[in-house]
Amino acid sequence: MKKYTIPVLTMLLLSGCQTYHLSTQSLLEQFAGVKGETKVTMLIVPPFVCYPGIVRGNDLRKITVLDKKEHEHTFPVTRSMGIKITQKSGKHTTFYVNTLLLKDSTITGDKTHFFKSQITPIYFANISKIELQK
């Protein structure tokens, strides 16, 4: 077991999530026809007790973003895909893309898939940067 520890730790340290960005306008355009949906995640806890995690989310299936060199990429929206929104005040908010909802002039979402843990709504006018973490 010890002979595998160093290679595994090295792989974990060298691997990271890729970060892409998009503008507020691009986000609004991509979410223009998106509808809300209820997402259910089953959490199984020994001894075989199931807890349904119910959160609201969107039905977006693909999202288009830009990399550091401004090349466009389109990715399927997955349960593990995160979005990090930086406000003009410097405050960062990170949550899941598939829970992102646009309401009036704000963005809302959930920090987890297992129970309702909504973020504080963010006004479009207060956004300075939107990053997608894949």
Residue 10 has pLDDT above 50, yes or no: no
Mean pLDDT of 118-125: 92
Residue 55 has pLDDT above 80, yes or no: no
In this predicted structure, the answer to whether residue 96 has a pLDDT above a threshold of 80 is: yes
Q: What is the pTM of this model?
A: 0.76
Give the C-alpha separation, 126 to 86, whole Å. Answer: 9
pLDDT at 79 over 70: yes
- Strand, coil or helix: 4: helix
pLDDT at residue 120 in the model:
92
| Res 2: pLDDT | 54
Encoded tokens for 12? 């974990």
pLDDT bucket at 83, cuts 50 / 70 / 90: very high
Phi, psi of 27 (to 5 degrees): -60, -45
**For 21-46, what is the mean pLDDT?**
85
In percent, how much of the chain has pLDDT > 70?
A: 83
**Which stretches of 31-73 are DSSP H helices?**
none
